[in-house]
Amino acid sequence: MLAKILPDSLRLQCMRQLKSEQQDVLTEIFEPDVNLVIWQRQLDTQIQRYAAELSKFSALQLVATPEELQSLLPQRLPQGPGKDEFIADLVLMAQMLTCLMDCSAVGFRLKQLEKAMCPRFHTDHIAVRLLVTYHGAGTEWIPEKQLTVNSEHIGQINNGHVALLKGTGWENNETGGIWHRSPTGNQPRLLLSLDPVGE
């Protein structure tokens, strides 16, 4: 109710971003004044090694259930040490998102990036998106829209951390989406992006 009463400028200042080493923090995305949650987990070394070796991998994009991903990914990803662990983690991310959002499938995108895909801070016109950077620098974010971005106010989603970013398509969140961008620089990075699909 408070969000409907407050003007947009104050609503933006009220939005919170939460981080925790506990997986349960992901459920906090349902709080109306939260637009970013980050599970600060430690990524398995085998997964890190496999992700770092995917230099010749370009991109994989599809819509699938977690079960379909389990059977499709072994065929679509190259062989290498840590492949099974990497796929298991991708499927786990899809399972977590479908469970949290009560959806049947995910819009799955795994992409090797050689340059900043979205170099300017922006919000997404979606309900929510799950991001994991498996290799390279992670996505940067700021608490609210700023005319001049002070580097001290820029946060970053670290390698391996699981983030849920709330967009402007979330119900009653037209002005509260999290502002984010690709990290600066041209270092290669491997990014997983998942969107909920279906009911």
Structure confidence at residue 85 (pLDDT):
98
Structure confidence at residue 186 (pLDDT):
77
Q: Please, what are the domains in the chain?
A: 15-197 (2.60.120)
Alpha-carbon distance of 31 to 17, in angstroms, equals 11
Number of other CB atoms surrounding residue 165 within 10 Å: 25
Q: How confident is the model at residue 1 (pLDDT cuts 50, 70, 90)?
A: very low
pLDDT above 70: residue 65: yes
Q: Which of 48, 36, 60 is nearest to 140 (CA)?
A: 36
Higher per-residue pLDDT: 121 or 14? 121
Structure confidence at residue 187 (pLDDT):
82
Q: What are the contacts of 13-20 at 24+ separation with CB within 8 A?
A: 13/144, 15/143, 15/144, 15/176, 15/178, 17/141, 17/143, 17/155, 17/178
What are the residues whose beta carbons fall under 8 Å from the beta carbon of 64, sequence distance 6 or more? 72, 94, 105, 106, 108
Interval 52-58 mean pLDDT: 85
Structure confidence at residue 4 (pLDDT):
41
Interval 25-34 mean pLDDT: 97
